Structure 1
Amino acid sequence: MRLLVIGGTSFVGRTIVGDALGRGHEVTTFNRGLTGKDVDGVEALRGDRSTDEGVRPLAGRGFDAVIDPGGLVPAHVLRTARATAGSAPFYAFVSTTAVYRTWNAASTDESAATWPGAADQDGDPADLENLRVHKRGCELAVEQTYGLGACLVARAGSIVGPYDNLGQLPWWLTRIAEGGRVIAPGDPDRGLQLIDVRDLSAFVLDRVEAQAGGIHNVVPDGPNTTMGRLVDGCVRATGSDATPVWMDEGFLLSQGVQPWAELPLWIPDVPDAAGFWAVSGASAAAAGLRTRPFGESVRDTWEWLRSGGAVRTAPGVPPLGLAGEKEQRVLAAWDSRPAGDG
């Protein structure tokens, strides 16, 4: 097939490009040439979809499908979809399960209420505060231009794997590789639901090859690991002598430790987040999603880091992780708490 991949130089996009080339497809990437190096073997077009002039390089080009793995601004996605609607019969957009309004129940499926969005809304790609609304607007931009039968909306959960540009699993691996006592949050048996970027890529390309539209939560159908297994897996992969110190969530919050930002992938176990790690993946499973054992994701991400891989977050996005000095203060406070307290 002749595929147009928007971006295509980092994490999800890079993985999709590599996978597509490996399947024998002809791949053209369309990007500004600022984020990273184009994968060898692609035809690279330069442009900026934030303006009408910026998408002119797409004029007169014909493709079998467009794959948009990273759209963040609805107006940009709408402009891209309109520019390709007459020359590519299918559009695949990688979205996020963050578009759902509530997380208080397990098995949230594709019929659940989403945040409102507007297909023509403009904005700043770095505006992560409004990510959930903007991503829903991006979905609408594709749906309204192509129609659901000719587009795929792949709502990915938390993504891990080589070439990670988010930094969640890489932070745990890097910190645990340093050794010593490591803060571990809450219940080690708390389930997590993580999708390997290579499994996401395979699902998207399978659906593109079949020209099969629809909306799918691209997640394992239920938790596929736990926080305890994640930490233990990082210890094994790195060969570290790190010792996890499992701390009560209430204590961590009392010490000002920020979930997700300072301890990546930690979401406190509260009623409003009861379904955060238990989104329904039944639709994607029925459509052919295959997921690898989570241990492979840990091992391969560590191998990528060891071979020189580095997390390159988007401009303006602060790095994840707990600062060393704060970690030591929290550990000291934990050690000095009254006997019998948590």
Structure 2
Amino acid sequence: MKSTIKEVAKEAGVSISTVSRVINGRDRVSKSTLNKVRRAIDKLKFHPDHTARAMINKKTQTIGLLVPELSNEFWSLLSKIVQDECWSNGYTTLICSTDNRTDKEKAYLKMFIERRMDGIIYCASPDDPTDMQEQMEMLRNSGIPLVMLDKSMPGVSSVVGDHLHGSLTAVEHLIRLGNRRIAYIGGPAVSIEREFGYRKALMMHGLNVDEALIRLVQGQTFSDGYGALTVLLELGVMFDALFCGNDLLALGAIKALEQAGIRVPEEVAVVGYDDIFSASLFKPALTTVRQPITDIGKELVSLLFQSVEQLSENRSARKIVIPTELIVRESSGVERNEIVQP
């Protein structure tokens, strides 16, 4: 039978309020009293009712983190950074992966609200603006502090990568190497600004944006990149370079090129995006646009806790832009005066 706080107080010879102060870490109690209460808790195997405490204190000490998928190194590492940052601030993290599915996203957000999360870090969102509006309305009505990654909404704090500049830099690198038929693999699962940067770079350099060179996929996995590149080859589309919306797409595409007997970078130069750990281990090592993932995770948590500590009517939205950096390795070839990085 489950022990009660009343039984703990009786065993320790103190009042119920003293036991409560020890459990909640509020107010100072003498060391001897603290030890008596802890011994009583251990002896009776007492476990506080966290749900009841949350209702009373209006805090669960839990943050909800929503990501598109955990099989991608970028999202798994970001989840760990966020979890560690929250832990150092006295909070646990409930991590949910949507697998890029809107139905899962809605269900998880509803669960975050029902479980009274103290804050939500929102890294996954539908491509459909109607679905996005529905999600935002649900979150606004809940009053739970919210921070978003790579999405900007009125009244909501966000951390965004400088993806337009990052992708533009990547494509310009390919152009400077003499490539003129540059393909792109991306889709709704990666920031639309990466496609915009691709298109902008081509237009800035007087190159035609050939829609036949653009393959948009629903996911962001190795197999998605492999499949998209296979389709390009089957269609007989000619290209001398490839820019991908993330590294897994790029690595999958390189595998498909190799299996088709096409050498990278001698025949097709390839650039990815994110700089996941595998990018430097792959052969050829992947040229990519690096996002400082540790900075991103820390900024997300910092912005969220600023909101958590404020009353809802006093919260002000902030936007943090994270710079990106081109990391040149083997898969793209090297411009004169460039240094190949590990």
Scaled to the shorter chain, the TM-score interval is 0.3 to 0.5
Compare CA radii of gyration and give the structure with the larger one. Answer: 2
**TM-score, normalisation: structure 1:** 0.36
**TM-score, normalisation: structure 2:** 0.36
More helix per residue = 2
Higher relative contact order (CA 8 A, sep 6+): 1
